[in-house]
Amino acid sequence: MVIDNTFYEIAALILIASAVGLVGLFLRQPLIVAFIAVGILAGPEVLGIARSTEYIALLSEISIAVLLFLVGLKLDVSLVRTLGPVALATGLGQVAFTAVFGFLICLALGIDWMTAIYVGVALTFSSTIIIVKLLSDKREIESLHGKIALGFLIVQDIVVVLAMVTLSALGVGVAEGSGAGDVLSVLASGLVVLAAVAVFIRWAATPLMRVISQSPELMVIFAVGWAAGLAAVGDWLGFGKELGGLLAGVSLASTPFRDTIGSRLSSLRDFLLLFFFIALGVSIDLGTLGDQVGPAIVLSLFVLIGNPLIVLVIMGYMGYRKRTSFLAGLTVAQISEFSLIFMAMGVTIGHVTDQAMGLVTLVGLVTIASSTYMITYSHQLYRLLEPWMHPFERRVAFREDAGPAPEAGGHRYDVILFGLGRYGRAIGGRLAEHGYSVFGVDFDPQALKDWRQAGFDGCFGDATDPEFPSHLPLQRVRAVISAVPQGSGMLTEADPRMALIHGLRSQGFSGPIAVAMHTPTDAEILEGQGADIMLTPFADAADYAVSAVEHALGEKPVDL
């Protein structure tokens, strides 16, 4: 049946996307892969449903503006600075390594030099959205390797900006046939817009958003309008809708409302991105993909192995433990939606062909699907490869030697406390008030910093790291407490509490182990694994609240 009405067509696409997405969910595949598959199915070579390509392309362009706006909201350069040299070294090192060797591999595969440059650059971009989503699901976004990964992802985003500026400027020169003069004009326009954005950030952004935030609905409308408006300005001045949308986000990144804006627009972004990937799938010429399978496999293996390897080498040289380096390196084992946008810009300019776009698309499908599982099962993968990873760690991993060892100076600690969040800090503070000496352990650098500022000793450590308990003076510690929440899920790692219990017992620790838990099922399982004391934060708080209320009420009510 041929669908002529655009409304019916869009409705059919959304329903098909829902159905294919559900299948992908059951098969545990990324939705991006499912949505591209929807475009292929609805395209002219299969079902032929997607006929109003101009409307799909329009929604796709809006989705790109919103996506880049949300990325811009997180482009806080101060974050890169606070994360230190490792973010810059790994971010720039990985980009340079991937671009150079990707270019050489493409030449070896017989690809022309212009296409090789584009493909090499496209392979350098990792998907911030996918990585942040996976790390958040695993509750590792605040871990040391999660912080480092976020840092070099921001560095990559800055490289994306520079690449798009350069590409947009070159595109203007090619389109108008004049070259240098128009390129300089575009760059000058970009500098003017950057200056205007800087002025807006300095004097207008926060006061304006403070007024707009009084109406949540208006905040959403303004954010979308601001993103689309600056995207239109960017397109008019010649440096592209993509950069305009990203600058719109950067202009609001320093305001205290950026997280609220991001959370309110995330659902709209996910919906609109559907049309970007559908448009991508519709544009794929299935006849050209068959010829790209061999090169796509080679380049996919390069991304899946080479990108994590260079991060592992750089971080190991800088003094990080091989486990932290490995977990951070896995986050760059895929290419991103920006790679596809970058190649699409090259096709529009005329620098590369649809075959090159198909090649990068295949690499994207393979690496996104594969890296999802690599990140999801990162700890199991590390245990499998750990025997061969010793060359990637210095004899002293000084970057993670973040403080005195628990026995430094002969000091004895009564309790080792894992997890320095609100609950853990409260436990540690109460124990200190009762005269116990407490040593804190956490994989969140900020939590550890707050702990030390409160006057306590502590160090970096991960409850799921099987090697870490061997560095603790367990023979002199009287008790170990885990205030680490359960982080397991359908596709996530094993319960960190169980991992900690096993690590402690394997080191011969026979003292009491207290763990936080939330359900009776947890208690049974944890007791069976060797836990001695069950801490129930919510139930204990409720018991205390009831006791306090009963004390205030006096006598208990009499049953009638």
Name the band, by pLDDT with cuts 50, 70 and 90, for residue 120. very high
Range of weakest confidence among 28-37, 88-97, 320-329, 453-462: 28-37
pLDDT surpassing 60 at residue 22 = yes
pLDDT surpassing 80 at residue 525 = no
Torsion from C-alpha of 376, 382, 383, 387, nearest 10 degrees: 160
Residue 344 included in any domain: yes
Based on the fold, state whether residues 473 and 410 are members of the same structural domain. Answer: yes
Range of weakest confidence among 34-48, 74-88, 528-542: 74-88
| Overall residue count recorded for the chain in this entry | 560
Residue 560 included in any domain: no
Residue 558 included in any domain: no
Based on the fold, state whether residues 170 and 222 are members of the same structural domain. Answer: yes
CB 397 within 8 Å of CB 319: yes
Q: Find the mean pLDDT for residues 373-387.
A: 85
Q: What is the pLDDT of residue 313?
A: 92
The pairs formed by 473-478 with CB atoms below 8 angstroms and a separation of 24 or more are 473/405, 473/406, 473/407, 473/413, 474/504, 474/507, 474/508, 474/509, 474/511, 475/508, 476/407, 476/412, 476/413, 477/406, 477/413, 477/414, 477/415, 477/416, 477/509, 477/511, 478/414, 478/415, 478/511
Based on the fold, state whether residues 73 and 205 are members of the same structural domain. Answer: yes
Any idea which residue has 């993509």 for tokens?
242
Q: What is the pLDDT of residue 48?
A: 79
Residue 398 included in any domain: no
Q: What is the pLDDT of residue 431?
A: 92
Name the band, by pLDDT with cuts 50, 70 and 90, for residue 404. very low
Name the band, by pLDDT with cuts 50, 70 and 90, for residue 161. low
Based on the fold, state whether residues 337 and 220 are members of the same structural domain. Answer: yes
CB 150 within 8 Å of CB 132: yes
Of the chain, the percentage scoring pLDDT greater than 70 comes to 82
d(C-alpha 301, C-alpha 283), whole Å: 25
Q: Find the mean pLDDT for residues 116-125.
A: 91
Q: Find the mean pLDDT for residues 25-35.
A: 74
Q: What is the pLDDT of residue 119?
A: 92
Q: What are phi and psi of 460, to 5 degrees?
A: -70, 145
The pairs formed by 222-229 with CB atoms below 8 angstroms and a separation of 24 or more are 223/69, 223/252, 223/261, 223/264, 223/265, 224/66, 224/265, 224/268, 226/69, 226/251, 226/252, 227/65, 227/66, 227/68, 227/69, 228/62, 228/65
d(C-alpha 282, C-alpha 518), whole Å: 48
Has this prediction a pTM greater than 0.95? no
- Report how far apart the first and last C-alpha atoms of the chain are (Å, whole number): 72
Tell me the per-residue pLDDT of 203-262, one tens digit each, with 9 for 90 and over.
898 899 889 988 888 988 999 999 999 988 887 876 667 778 878 888 888 888 887 888
Based on the fold, state whether residues 493 and 440 are members of the same structural domain. Answer: yes
pLDDT surpassing 60 at residue 498 = yes
Q: What is the pLDDT of residue 490?
A: 33
Name the band, by pLDDT with cuts 50, 70 and 90, for residue 491. very low
d(C-alpha 364, C-alpha 33), whole Å: 9
Q: What is the pLDDT of residue 142?
A: 64
d(C-alpha 355, C-alpha 347), whole Å: 10
d(C-alpha 474, C-alpha 281), whole Å: 57
Q: What are phi and psi of 415, to 5 degrees?
A: -135, 140
Range of weakest confidence among 77-86, 303-312, 427-436, 504-513: 77-86
| Mean per-residue pLDDT of the chain | 79
Name the band, by pLDDT with cuts 50, 70 and 90, for residue 186. low
Residue 167 included in any domain: yes
State the amino acid at position 259 in one-letter form: D
Measuring CA to CA, how many Å separate 316 from each of 15, 322, 325, 463? 48, 6, 7, 21
Torsion from C-alpha of 260, 265, 270, 273, nearest 10 degrees: -130
Tell me the per-residue pLDDT of 284-333, one tens digit each, with 9 for 90 and over.
666 666 667 889 999 999 999 999 999 999 998 888 888 888 998 998 89
SS3 4: coil
Q: Find the mean pLDDT for residues 468-472.
A: 75
Q: CATH number of the domain at 211, please.
A: 1.20.1530.20
Any idea which residue has 């320093």 for tokens?
254
Of the chain, the percentage scoring pLDDT greater than 90 comes to 12
Based on the fold, state whether residues 61 and 22 are members of the same structural domain. Answer: no
Q: How far is CA 292 from the centre of its chain?
A: 29
Measuring CA to CA, how many Å separate 397 from each of 299, 309, 315? 32, 18, 10
Residue 559 included in any domain: no
CB 419 within 8 Å of CB 462: no
Q: What is the pLDDT of residue 488?
A: 39
Domain end residue (candidates: 330, 360, 392): 392
Q: CATH number of the domain at 504, please.
A: 3.40.50.720
Residue 383 included in any domain: yes
Based on the fold, state whether residues 359 and 439 are members of the same structural domain. Answer: no
**Of the ranges 172-176, 319-323, 484-488, which is most confident?**
319-323
Q: Find the mean pLDDT for residues 63-80.
A: 71
Q: What is the pLDDT of residue 108?
A: 93
pLDDT surpassing 90 at residue 413 = no
187 compared with 459, residue with greater pLDDT = 459
For residue 489, give the nearest of 391, 345, 350, 377 by alpha carbon: 377
Domain end residue (candidates: 352, 371, 392): 392
d(C-alpha 30, C-alpha 428), whole Å: 41
Structural domain that includes position 189 = 54-392
For residue 350, give the nearest of 172, 159, 120 by alpha carbon: 172
Task: Say if strands 479-482 and 457-460 run parallel, antiparallel, or are unpaired.
Answer: unpaired
Residue 446 included in any domain: yes
Based on the fold, state whether residues 81 and 64 are members of the same structural domain. Answer: yes
H or E, element range at 480: strand 479-482
Based on the fold, state whether residues 259 and 344 are members of the same structural domain. Answer: yes
Q: What is the pLDDT of residue 137?
A: 66
| Total number of domains in the chain | 3
Name the band, by pLDDT with cuts 50, 70 and 90, for residue 474. confident
Range of weakest confidence among 219-233, 336-350, 406-420, 430-444: 406-420
d(C-alpha 509, C-alpha 415), whole Å: 13
Domain end residue (candidates: 361, 392, 423): 392
Range of weakest confidence among 30-34, 151-155, 316-320: 30-34
Based on the fold, state whether residues 244 and 198 are members of the same structural domain. Answer: yes
Based on the fold, state whether residues 383 and 412 are members of the same structural domain. Answer: no
Based on the fold, state whether residues 89 and 191 are members of the same structural domain. Answer: yes
CA angle, residues 255, 261, 262, in degrees to nearest 5: 105
